[in-house]
Amino acid sequence: MPAIFEKPSDDESHHLKALFVKGRVDGHLISKILIDGGAAINNMPYAVYRKLGKGDQDWTKTDMMLKDFEGNVSLVKGAICVELTIDSKTLPTTFFVISGKGAYNLLLGRDWILANCCIPSTMH
């Protein structure tokens, strides 16, 4: 039997919002940290990387390629391990520095979620 899924109306979907938190990266306050259980890796836009006072010598070179939200493939600039603090928990966290922009300052994926034994609600 075929199933038909209809798009919920605005009244039915007002509670569906992205999960954003605040934290500190190497002591610098960062807002708009997006926790996304659908992301396989942690991303840091290059603009945020520069705001942290980091330079090209601070990352580890990588030949990894990523596909952005529009399906465009681009080379990752590098990987960097930083101390990420959210609330009272601090863990070394590796981010892949990307040249793209997003609606977030940092994106935390499944790797970070599992390392912190978190079960984020995608329906908060």
pLDDT of residue 32: 95
**In the predicted structure, residue 48 carries a pLDDT above the cut 90:** yes
Query: Amino acid letter at 49?
Result: Y
- Phi and psi angles of residue 110, each rounded to the nearest 5 degrees, phi first: -60, -35
pLDDT of residue 15: 64
Tell me the pLDDT tens digit for each residue of 8-45. Answer: 777 766 666 778 899 999 999 999 999 888 888 999 99
What is the CATH number assigned to the segment(s) 20-115?
2.40.70.10
Neighbouring C-beta atoms of residue 81, cutoff 10 Å? 12
Alpha-carbon distances, residue 56 vs 64, 77, 96, 110, 121 (angstroms): 16, 9, 13, 26, 36
pLDDT of residue 16: 67
What is the domain partition of the chain in residue ranges? Answer: 20-115
